[in-house]
Amino acid sequence: MTTPSLVLELKQVCKHFPGVKALQDVDLRLFAGEVHALLGENGAGKSTLVKVMTGALAKSSGDIYFNGQNCSFASPAAAQQAGISTVYQEVNLLPNLSVAQNLFLGHEPRRFGLIQHQKMQQQAQQLLLRFKLNIDVTAPLAQYSVAVQQLIAIARGVAMSAKVLVLDEPTASLDSSEVQMLFDVMRQLREQGVAIVFITHFLDQVYQISDRITVLRNGSKVGEYLAADLPRSRLIEAMLGKELQQLTHQAATTTPAVAEPLLVLNNIAVKGSISGVSLTVAQGQAVGLAGLLGSGRTEVCRAVYGVDALSQGEIQFGGKTLRLQQPADAIKAGIALCPEERKTEGIIGPLSIRENIMLALQARRGWWRYLPVKQQQQLAAFYIDKLQIATPDADKPIEQLSGGNQQKVILARWLAINPQLLILDEPTRGIDIGAHAEILLLIKSLCQQGMSLLVTSSELEELVAFAGKVVVLRDRQKVTELSGDTMTAPHIMQAIAEG
Amino acid sequence: MKQTQSCADSLQQARLARYSPGSIKASARYLWPLAALMLLLAVNLLLDASFFQLSFQDGRLYGSLIDILNRSAPVALLAIGMSLVIATGGIDLSVGAVMAIAGAVCANLLLQTELPLALVIAAGLATGIAAGLINGTLVSYLKIQPIVATLLLMVAGRGVAQLINQGQIVTFLRPDFAWLGTGSWLGLPLPIWLVIGMFALSQLLLRRTALGLFIEAVGCNATASRYLGVNDKAIKLFVYAFAGFCAALAGMISAADIQGSDANNAGLWLELDAILAVVIGGAVLSGGRFSLLLSVIGVLIIQSLSTTIIVSGVPAKFNLLIKALVVLLVLLLQSDKFRRQLSSWLPKLRKWRKGDKA
Ligand SMILES: Nc1ncnc2c1ncn2[C@@H]1O[C@H](COP(=O)(O)OP(=O)(O)OP(=O)(O)O)[C@@H](O)[C@H]1O
Ligand SMILES: [Mg+2]
């Protein structure tokens, strides 16, 4: 084997934002035909490094060498031209354009200068089939779920990747089968000599696919390792700067047999999506929703929360039938939903962390009884500490936080109102291993105090860890319910696959 | 155990060393609009040495500054309402026409009935709120784009005012109503007091309750706001009604000023000045944070600019062009990107000059 050539090299790169040294003297070496994992806690600087490397952000100082030449890209388009394609953490597509247009934006197949729509659609269809995605490519992108959008963004990156492909948390909202598909594609590209940067918080995935690992902590590089030489425990230590506190995984919360049912879904359907879903959540019980992408998990959550109107069936809550026009009605009844789409349905970008945390509480209090600023600050300080949100102060706009830290803020928002039923749609999406266990523990303790939970997660292990019952969905219908001994990851997987 | 403790401590310190808090100041937003205003006032002083002089006659202050404040009153009221509409990501083109309607309603009531002053004012304000509710309903419940929805009333509203006036210019003789536009209290013209009062009330209403925060939340991300329990439709309805209220007040001041209602000209094009003022104050049209103070500063900039142009003796035909250029400059100065570009040019400029000399 010849020594692989160095494609991209970063030397002593710094990036300072007002008030934050996001990157300090970071080095990175990227070789042709390797998968290079970039790891670190939430806020370590991974996304910033990617943005600096690909021209989305200007570096403060340092050098970037591409194919041995010192260069820095003025924009992502310039990097693209040079052969570096990137899928950023926050999916950056145009919701109103069609899937095909999104896939080929900027390099549409043309003849005599005119876009060949037919050809573009055919190519789009083929490209998506690589990811086993058989969808209408002429429909607007906004119609599809985050996971599908994520796959489309990846497909776009893959289609254009000539020399370097950068993937910032591509697997955050994907199920294991889609992750495997992605890995297959990544392996093919690696064979072809493409260098791939891969960011994730799932260490299993790191060891499955990557050849080399660079770890960042607090904006500085901790080290570069060969994946084969780095045991998991040392990797965790490098990321956190200390050993991971062993949190004993207790058995799933056992609910008292006589617990009153809190939420009863009676054969509910929503026009154009789910149909015939029935399930019960008891007081203080955690129920998991499992299923593939597009199986209707998110849609069930939305229906219970009053986002989509029911076309059939009824929702009973605490013995009463609910008529939900909008989420505010659900909140009034004692239901809260932490949504899956962080950027469009979760964060209110320009508002501060403090305001993002207190808003749901305020909305429930009504506009007249303004929560005193002092109490807002206490609330924010409490959750910043509790959920380890990495920020210099609570008055920073939430959009300046790293993705995982934004997720923690949204979670804090819903914990703050202490609802009777908390619906969590992918609650730990993008959260690092240090905070992950902490958050699971927190949710569990809430459950023990009597809060009921309805949780979706593409991580089956996570579901099994704290759900008392798992409901499996397929093709927007309920397939089965598992609890007790049958509720294990393999069983659920089987149910998802076969029904 | 102790060792892990100190390890955690040093980790914590490493984390803190990365952050230097308090480097982003909210007050920075006020810098450029205030600087622009100061600059304009200074230019005025250069052109006219008596610009800052105030005199006290018949229990009222007189002077160029007072004139500027007094003349900007209607637009300032419009801008207060417009700030909220723009904060939700909307726009209200109809406020000028609503001024005309409110003026017409009041003028006709004054001419044809013997209603007490309070009722006439109440009727005028109610007209404004009703107009605003129509706009708000179209925008929030029928989901018509704000610019289209309010364009309807912008065009139709003036027609309604003409119908009320039956195509005439309606004049009235009621000193008590006229006092709204021409009177004075504690040395200041009444329109200035009305603006101060409206400003203070709005500020209380918006910042001492959660209303202001809700408006900003809806403007930044309406979907997320709805998800967390804010009734985004009600908020939108409110801001248009509020803008209608402000417009009605402005309309009554102009009607009182000329003691009559001219449906064709009352408030004509003032909606554009109000929008411009809000934008000069640093608001983004796509919605988000608002500051009533900055919007009012924006109004003062526009008004001082008009005065400067008149005082400077530039031929009248250049007025609009100069106004547009200065506004453009203010907007450019507010843009971070432009300032960065400017500061990257400066060293080059210096180098170039040095090279010249050498
Ligand atoms: N536009 C910005 N303005 C100010 N600070 C920023 C900005 N973008 C990022 N930061 C800060 O830079 C640091 C690094 O953020 P970055 O997004 O790179 O983290 P990350 O490693 O990708 O984390 P995650 O795993 O949560 O995605 C964070 O402290 C963040 O608050
Ligand atoms: Mg990131």
What pLDDT was estimated at residue B6? 60
What pLDDT was estimated at residue A251? 47
Sorted by where each begins, the domain ranges of chain A are: 6-243, 247-498
Q: Do A393 and B214 touch (CB under 8 A)?
A: no
- What is the mean predicted confidence (pLDDT) over A147-171? 86
- What is the mean predicted confidence (pLDDT) over B336-354? 71
Chosen for mutation from A298, A348, A359, A423 (greatest number of chain B CBs closer than 10 Å) is: A348
Ligand 2 centroid, distance to A150 Cα (angstroms): 15
Closest CA in chain A for residue B22: A19
Q: What tokens were used for A420?
A: 């009777």
Query: What is the percent of chain A where pLDDT is above 90?
Result: 33
Nearest CA to ligand 1 atom 1: A400
B117 in a structural domain = yes
Ligand 2 centroid, distance to A51 Cα (angstroms): 10
- Measured between beta carbons, the chain A residues lying within 8 angstroms of B7 are 241-242
Amino acid at A211: D
Checking if the pLDDT of B97 tops 80, the result is yes
Please enumerate in sequence order all residues whose Cβ is within 8 A of that of B76, keeping only pairs 6 or more positions apart, or say none. Answer: B195, B199, B277, B296, B299, B300
B25 in a structural domain = no
What pLDDT was estimated at residue A3? 66
Closest CA in chain A for residue B230: A363
Checking if the pLDDT of A255 tops 70, the result is no
Q: Do A326 and B7 touch (CB under 8 A)?
A: no
- What is the mean predicted confidence (pLDDT) over B196-222? 95
What pLDDT was estimated at residue A387? 85
CA distance A492 to chain B (A): 30
- Measured between beta carbons, the chain B residues lying within 8 angstroms of A219 are 18
Q: CB contact, 8 Å: A25 with chain B?
A: no
What pLDDT was estimated at residue A134? 84
Q: Order across the sheet with A220-226: list the strands.
A: A84-87, A164-168, A195-199, A35-39, A212-217, A220-226
Q: Do B208 and A339 touch (CB under 8 A)?
A: no
- Which one, of B238, B297, B310, lies nearest residue B90 by Cα? B238
B161 in a structural domain = yes
Chosen for mutation from B228, B231, B237, B336 (greatest number of chain A CBs closer than 10 Å) is: B228
- Which one, of A28, A24, A44, lies nearest residue A164 by Cα? A28
Closest CA in chain A for residue B220: A348
ipTM: 0.85
Checking if the pLDDT of A131 tops 60, the result is yes
- For residue B325, give its domain range: 68-336
How many residues are recorded in chain A? 499
From the CB of A457, is ligand 1 less than 6 Å away? no
B22 in a structural domain = no
- Measured between beta carbons, the chain B residues lying within 8 angstroms of A392 are 19-21
Q: For ligand 1, what atom is nearest to the CA of residue A406?
A: 26
Checking if the pLDDT of B4 tops 60, the result is no
- CA distances (Å), origin B126, targets A182, B93, B132, B142: 62, 19, 10, 22
Q: Do B210 and A365 touch (CB under 8 A)?
A: yes
Q: Most confidently modeled of A79-88, A305-314, B78-87? A: B78-87
- What is the mean predicted confidence (pLDDT) over A419-429? 89
What is d(CA A108, CA A115) in angstroms, rounded to the nearest whole number? 6
Which pLDDT band, with edges at 50, 70 and 90, does B147 fall under? very high
What is d(CA B149, CA B199) in angstroms, rounded to the nearest whole number? 27
Checking if the pLDDT of A250 tops 60, the result is no
- Measured between beta carbons, the chain B residues lying within 8 angstroms of A95 are none
From the CB of A20, is ligand 1 less than 6 Å away? yes
What's the CATH code, domain A6-243?
A: 3.40.50.300
Nearest CA to ligand 1 atom 17: A402
Check residue A271 and report its DSSP letter.
T
Checking if the pLDDT of B1 tops 50, the result is no
From A18-32, A40-54, A318-332, B1-15, the region with the lowest mean pLDDT: B1-15
Q: What is the pLDDT of residues A165-211, one digit of tens each?
A: 999 998 887 888 888 888 988 998 899 889 999 999 998 899 999 99
Is there a contact between B290 and B215 (Cβ–Cβ < 8 Å)? yes
Please enumerate in sequence order all residues whose Cβ is within 8 A of that of B249, keeping only pairs 6 or more positions apart, or say none. Answer: B77, B102, B124, B125, B128, B194, B198
What pLDDT was estimated at residue B165? 92
Closest CA in chain B for residue A342: B224
From the CB of A39, is ligand 1 less than 6 Å away? no
Q: CB contact, 8 Å: B329 with chain A?
A: no
Checking if the pLDDT of A259 tops 50, the result is yes
Is there a contact between A485 and A479 (Cβ–Cβ < 8 Å)? no
**A167 - beta bridge partners?**
A87, A198
- What is the mean predicted confidence (pLDDT) over B179-199? 93
- Measured between beta carbons, the chain A residues lying within 8 angstroms of B220 are 348-351
- Measured between beta carbons, the chain B residues lying within 8 angstroms of A242 are 4, 7-8, 11
- What is the mean predicted confidence (pLDDT) over A262-288? 89
Q: Where are the beta strands (DSSP E) in A323-432?
A: 335-338, 421-425
Checking if the pLDDT of A429 tops 50, the result is yes
Q: CB contact, 8 Å: B11 with chain A?
A: yes
Q: CB contact, 8 Å: B210 with chain A?
A: yes
Q: What is the pLDDT of residues A32-51, one digit of tens each?
A: 999 999 999 888 999 999 99
Q: CB contact, 8 Å: B225 with chain A?
A: yes
- Which one, of A87, A273, A272, A58, lies nearest residue A165 by Cα? A87
Nearest CA to ligand 1 atom 29: A43
Q: What is the pLDDT of residues B280-332, one digit of tens each?
A: 888 888 888 999 999 999 999 999 888 888 888 888 788 788 888 877 887 78
From the CB of A162, is ligand 1 less than 6 Å away? no
Considering the four listed CATH numbers 3.40.50.300, 3.30.70.2750, 3.40.50.720, 2.40.110.10, the one that applies to the domain covering A247-498 is 3.40.50.300
Nearest CA to ligand 1 atom 8: A400
Is there a contact between A290 and A473 (Cβ–Cβ < 8 Å)? yes
Q: CB contact, 8 Å: B324 with chain A?
A: no
Q: Do A392 and B227 touch (CB under 8 A)?
A: no
Checking if the pLDDT of A21 tops 70, the result is yes
Q: CB contact, 8 Å: A112 with chain B?
A: no
Q: What is the pLDDT of residues A398-414, one digit of tens each?
A: 998 988 899 899 999 99
The CATH number assigned to the domain holding B302 equals 1.10.3470
What pLDDT was estimated at residue A127? 87
Q: What is the mean pLDDT of chain B?
A: 88
Q: Which residues surround ligand 2, an ion (CB under 5 A)?
A: A 47, 89, 402-403
Q: Do A18 and B23 touch (CB under 8 A)?
A: yes
Kindly report the three-state secondary structure assignment for every residue of A403-425: HHHHHHHHHHHHHHHCCCEEEEE
Nearest CA to ligand 1 atom 22: A47
What pLDDT was estimated at residue A361? 93
How many Cβ atoms sit within 10 Å of the Cβ of residue B307?
A: 21
Is there a contact between B240 and B124 (Cβ–Cβ < 8 Å)? no
What is d(CA A202, CA B89) in angstroms, rounded to the nearest whole number? 39
B163 in a structural domain = yes
Closest CA in chain A for residue B16: A392
Q: CB contact, 8 Å: B344 with chain A?
A: no
B58 in a structural domain = no
From the CB of A288, is ligand 1 less than 6 Å away? no
From the CB of A214, is ligand 1 less than 6 Å away? no
Q: For ligand 1, what atom is nearest to the CA of residue A20?
A: 5
What is d(CA B330, CA B325) in angstroms, rounded to the nearest whole number? 9
- The answer to whether A6-243 and A247-498 have equal CATH topology is yes
What pLDDT was estimated at residue B355? 61
Q: What is the pLDDT of residues A343-399, one digit of tens each?
A: 889 999 899 999 999 999 999 999 999 999 999 999 999 999 888 888 888 999 999
From the CB of A44, is ligand 1 less than 6 Å away? yes
Which pLDDT band, with edges at 50, 70 and 90, does A422 fall under? very high
Ligand 2 centroid, distance to A362 Cα (angstroms): 29
Half-sphere exposure at residue A307, Cβ-oriented, CA atoms within 13 angstroms? 21
From the CB of A435, is ligand 1 less than 6 Å away? no
Q: Do B224 and A347 touch (CB under 8 A)?
A: yes
Number of compact structural domains in chain B: 1
Checking if the pLDDT of B24 tops 70, the result is no
